[in-house]
């Protein structure tokens, strides 16, 4: 049996850093999400850091812009869903500039609360859906683009546009209704 030198799996001594909390050595550890640096004194010291440092985009102030809520400047920032425009006074001001991917399309009122509009949103997994703008008071969502027409069979206030093998069609989002028609 061949004996493997375990020092091959450790970073060279000159690259080892000290833990900023307890001054112990930082060692490479593995988890289901990949490698990371952790303190050798774990569990008494729980300091961890990503093995590969990703560069964060610094907030870039947009000159001449003004937050409608507090009046300070806006900035381009990076978040977990990508780039967005927000107030420079966060966390005092929580203003975020909303942009619509459906610009030019008609506004569709929520069929449940009849006060909000259905807005295009993206889930944390990257899937798109349409939800009422009055969330959390109204929790209505639909997975396909809404159309501001009522269903001729059941009378539901909206229809949805879906793509199928036969092409684009409009149908009722209620499961109990089977109304479908092709889009001309």
pLDDT on residue 80: 63
Pairing mode, if any, of strands 180-182 and 48-50? unpaired
Compute the distance between CA of residue 73 and CA of residue 68 in angstroms, rounded to an integer: 10
What is the extent of the structural domain holding 23? 13-50
Classify residue 110: in a domain, yes or no. Answer: no
Same domain, 139 and 174: yes
pLDDT on residue 82: 64
pLDDT on residue 123: 81
Classify residue 90: in a domain, yes or no. Answer: yes
pLDDT on residue 115: 87
Taking the alpha carbons of 131, 74, 103, 109 in that order, is the dihedral positive or negative? positive
Classify residue 161: in a domain, yes or no. Answer: yes
DSSP string covering 139-154: --EESSEEES---TTT
pLDDT on residue 104: 47
Q: Total structural domains in the chain?
A: 3
Averaged pLDDT, 81-101: 77
Compute the distance between CA of residue 90 and CA of residue 86 in angstroms, rounded to an integer: 8
pLDDT at 43 over 60: yes
Same domain, 145 and 176: yes
Structural tokens at position 10? 């450790």
Classify residue 107: in a domain, yes or no. Answer: no
Classify residue 5: in a domain, yes or no. Answer: no
Taking the alpha carbons of 149, 155, 161, 165 in that order, is the dihedral positive or negative? negative
Lowest mean pLDDT segment, chosen from 56-60, 96-100, 130-134: 56-60
Classify residue 112: in a domain, yes or no. Answer: no
Portion of the chain with pLDDT greater than 70, in percent: 81
pLDDT on residue 49: 86
Same domain, 135 and 172: yes
Q: What are phi and psi of 9, to 5 degrees?
A: -90, 0
Position 141 confidence tier, pLDDT thresholds 50, 70, 90? very high
Same domain, 39 and 59: no
């Amino acid at each position: 049996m061949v004996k493997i030198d375990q020092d091959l799996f450790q970073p060279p001594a000159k690259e080892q850093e000290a833990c900023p909390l307890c001054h112990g050595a930082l060692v490479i550890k593995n988890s289901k999400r990949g490698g990371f640096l952790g303190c050798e004194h774990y569990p008494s010291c729980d300091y961890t850091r990503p093995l590969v440092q990703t560069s964060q985009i610094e907030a870039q102030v947009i000159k001449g812009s003004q937050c409608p809520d507090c009046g300070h400047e806006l900035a381009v920032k990076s978040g977990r869903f990508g780039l967005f425009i927000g107030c420079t006074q966060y966390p005092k001001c929580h203003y975020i500039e909303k942009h619509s991917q459906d610009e030019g399309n008609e506004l569709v009122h929520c069929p449940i609360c009849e006060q909000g509009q259905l807005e295009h949103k993206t889930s944390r997994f990257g899937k798109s859906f349409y939800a009422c703008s009055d969330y959390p008071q109204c929790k209505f969502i639909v997975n396909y683009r809404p159309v501001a027409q009522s269903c001729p069979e059941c009378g539901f206030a909206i229809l949805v546009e879906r793509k199928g093998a036969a092409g684009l069609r409009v149908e009722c989002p209620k499961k109990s209704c089977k109304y479908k028609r092709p889009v001309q």
